[in-house]
Structure 1
């Protein structure tokens, strides 16, 4: 089984993260709305098939310029929210 999630992003140029998580916490698909289109498409391709926990470990705390967050950090935060809902 898998479950679809959609969360708003905060503090970034991107507005929203949509993704599907499988029961084993692997990412089936991901899409980020807004932001740096090519970079975010690349990130979404890279994380497909990875465990959400591994993506969180790698991306959480990444900053963008003067901001206290980034698109990768928002992806990590949204994956954490999804895992909490799955448990």
Structure 2
């Protein structure tokens, strides 16, 4: 399990579990509970590269990032540490 501390968003922590390049689980602490639980379900079993390509660069309101964008960063960091 890899723990990532997001920056510039409402969620306070993102825990990522990978099996090679496949996402086993993503869990958010804080943030928009329902939406983030849904995102976590949608990405389960998907390839890291596919999810990063979809989510990287998304913004939230006036912020230059979002929980989805921060999740992409968390996935890349977890992938690099394997």
Show structure 1 runs of 5+ residues with no match.
Answer: none
Distance 1:30 1:76 in 2: 11
Residue 19 of structure 1 deviates from its aligned partner by 1.5
Residue matched to 2:18? 21
- Report which of the two structures shows the higher radius of gyration computed on alpha carbons: 1
Per the normalisation by structure 2, the TM-score is: 0.96
Residue number among 51, 59, 63 corresponding to 1:63 in the alignment: 59
TM-score, reference length from structure 1: 0.91
Q: Which residue of 1 aligns with 2:8?
A: 11
Say whether the 8 Å CA contact 2:16–2:78 is kept in structure 1: no
Aligned pair count? Answer: 82
Q: Which has the higher contact order (CA 8 A, sep 6+)?
A: 2
Partner residue in 2 for 1:73: 69
For residue 65 of structure 2, give the secondary structure of its aligned residue in structure 1.
coil
Compute the RMSD of aligned alpha carbons: 0.7
Shift of 1:84: 1.4
Question: SS where residue 66 of structure 1 aligns?
Answer: coil
